[in-house]
Chains A and B, each alone.
Chain A
Amino acid sequence: MVMNILEIENLSFSYGNPRDMYKKNVLDDINIRISGSESVGLIGENGAGKSTFLKLLTGLLELKDGEIRVAGLGLKKENLKDIRAEIGYVFQDSDSQLFMSTVYDDVAFAPRNYGKSEEEVRAAALLALKKVHMEDKKDRQIYRLSGGEKKLAAIATVLAVGAKLMLLDEPSVALDPKNRRNLIRILNELPGAKLIASHDLDFVYDTCERVILLSGGRIAADGGTKEILTDRELLEKHGLELPLSFSRGCPC
């Protein structure tokens, strides 16, 4: 049997006081399984609950209802450190994600925290930078990077711990077409499971083989990328539009 990197059962979530009767669930009875090498797009309009969902998986938001297992480990306080070694979370805002002064120091931050020797840290950091084609920029000051480079550096910081599941929140936002293409290429080169939250359906089309459509906190559809992203009726019903590449009439 193929081991699932992520298993989610009956996950519901709402912000604020759980006893507030009038409050609506931001996520409602979510069930998902993702295997070790899948690339999954999590789509949905603004406010659908994508970011909330990703934060729950990382333990940054407290799980109240339902069950989450990452690489077989139940999401609990005791397991957080181990789980976070398996999960790489790429924030929407790379500026806040990166906080050391140079690219290298930022990428080396996580392996150092996991008690690696300085040689191992170095090897891990350089390998991670190589995977995103940023080796030559390792000594750059973070604030001098372009938006696209910051995103790649942020990805390198999570690759450096050898995460098996990568969560990306709106990775294509604020990237110009060239950086966007570059990011697509790099993501497609990376092995391991990916969960990409985005409302940029063209981006999802280019990077994912499976798509989960989130709407009003529920899973409205879960299936092959092509099957879902070409279903105009389904998408429009949930506040989304056909990817540009299809609406132009060129499903190439």
Chain B
Amino acid sequence: MSRISDAISELHKLDMEAGKRGWLQGIHPLPKLLVTLFFLVLVVSYGKYDLSGLLVLGIYLIITFVLGDISVKLLLKRMRIVLGLVCLMGIANPFFDREAVLILGGFAVTGGMVSAATLAVKGVFAVSASYLLIVTTSVEDICYALRALHVPKIFVTVLLLVYRYIIVFLKEVERMTDAYALRAPGQKGLNQKVWGTFAGQLLLRSMDRAQTVYDSMMMRGYNGEFYLRCKRSAERGDYLYAAGWSTALLLIRIIHF
């Protein structure tokens, strides 16, 4: 089924993009994670009518997208559902908050409209910033950075394993749906009659594969901790990246436009 192979290839593509040799990809994951987290905190800190101030923070995104040579089109395509949802978060605000805050050419802009827009922008900013981190940093590196920030190892391990097992699981789904489709030509999707056996088989098979993956980890001395290590340690450029962005973002937040 093509949608599943699409999903698998999207995951692989993310992995591959993160492994590319680029300027942004080359930055140590820890400063990247820190700057992203800092950016998220700042985004959240803006007041609910502070649209203009918030928009200035978008400089970070624009610069990073440009410098990292990241495709905005792909972001829109991949994240369209999430982006759509965050844009709708404040949809009800205009109905509750009808006080005009600005008259633009005879049209009253109400507080509700501004706060809805602010919320939407906050959401889009948050999604974009996370996306930037994900496409420029491999899962292993993000997990490494999380460990470096003393996030408990159980969370990090689960995150890493979920990511790995999702691929194992999707591949199994792909294999089975392919085998099904080949023997049921001209049929759309799975016949309801086979849903039960299909789900059962899928469970058994993916458990089997997951067991092999686990065996393979045990055979190689796994003892509860992924020893994630970065290919290199942080250098001056990485510190500069973190310091530079933190200062710039903080200044934008303090000096209100």
A-side interface residues toward B, CB under 8 Å?
A: 58, 60, 81, 84-85, 87-89, 91, 93, 95-102, 105, 109-110, 112-114, 118, 121, 139, 141, 143-144, 157-158, 161
Q: Is the C-beta of B168 less than 8 angstroms from some C-beta in chain A? A: yes
In the complex, whether B229 has a CB less than 8 A from a CB of chain A is yes
Q: Is B71 an interface residue (CB 8 A)?
A: no
**Residue contact B221 to A141, C-beta cutoff 8 Å:** no
B243 within 8 A of A: no
Residues on A with beta carbons closer than 8 Å to the beta carbon of B139: 101
Given A96-B213, A99-B213, A101-B19, decide whether A85 and B138 contact each other with a Cβ distance below 8 A.
no
A158 to B216, CA, bound (A): 10
CB A126 to nearest CB in B, in angstroms, measures 13
A157 touches B140 (CB 8 A): no
Does B222 count as interface, using CB distance less than 8 angstroms? yes
Q: Does B220 contact A (CB under 8 A)?
A: yes
Say yes or no: A96-B168 contact (C-beta < 8 A), given A101-B15, A141-B16, A141-B19.
yes
Q: Which of B19, B139, B171, B212 has the most CB of A within 10 A?
A: B212
**8 Å CB contact of B216 from A97, A101, A161:** A97
23 CB-based A-B contacts, threshold 8 Å = A60-B215, A60-B219, A81-B221, A84-B221, A89-B219, A91-B212, A98-B216, A101-B15, A101-B140, A102-B19, A109-B227, A112-B227, A112-B229, A113-B220, A113-B221, A113-B223, A114-B221, A118-B229, A141-B15, A143-B12, A143-B15, A144-B16, A161-B220
Check A96–B140 contact: CB distance below 8 A: no
Bound together, the chains give a CA A99 to CA B213 distance in angstroms of 7
Q: B229: which A residues are within 8 A, CB to CB?
A: 112, 118, 121
Q: What's the minimum C-beta distance from B57 to chain A, rounded to whole angstroms?
A: 32
Give the CA-CA distance A100 to B19 in the complex, in Å. 13
Minimum Cβ distance to chain A for residue B217 (Å): 7
Given contacts A101-B139, A139-B19, contact A110 B221 (CB under 8 A): yes
- Knowing A96-B213, A143-B12, the reply to whether A85 touches B140 (Cβ < 8 A) is no
A157-B217 Cα distance, complex, nearest whole Å: 11
Interface of B is mostly: helix
With most chain A CB atoms within 10 A of its CB, the pick from B19, B209, B227 is: B227
* Alpha-carbon separation in the docked complex, A209 to B139 (Å): 44
Chain A min CB distance to B175 (Å): 11
Known: A81-B221, A84-B218, A110-B221. 4 other contacts (CB 8 A): A58-B219, A97-B216, A109-B222, A141-B15
* B14 CB, nearest partner CB in chain A, Å: 10
**How many whole Å from B136's CB to the nearest CB in chain A?**
14
Which chain A residues lie closer than 8 Å to B217 at the CB level?
A: 99, 109
From A95, A100, A141, A158, give the contact of B140 (CB < 8 A). A100
User: Do A84 and B140 touch (CB < 8 A)?
Assistant: no
**CB < 8 Å: which of B12, B138, B209 contacts A96?**
B209
Measured between beta carbons, the chain A residues less than 8 angstroms from B138 are 101
Closest to A96 in B: B212
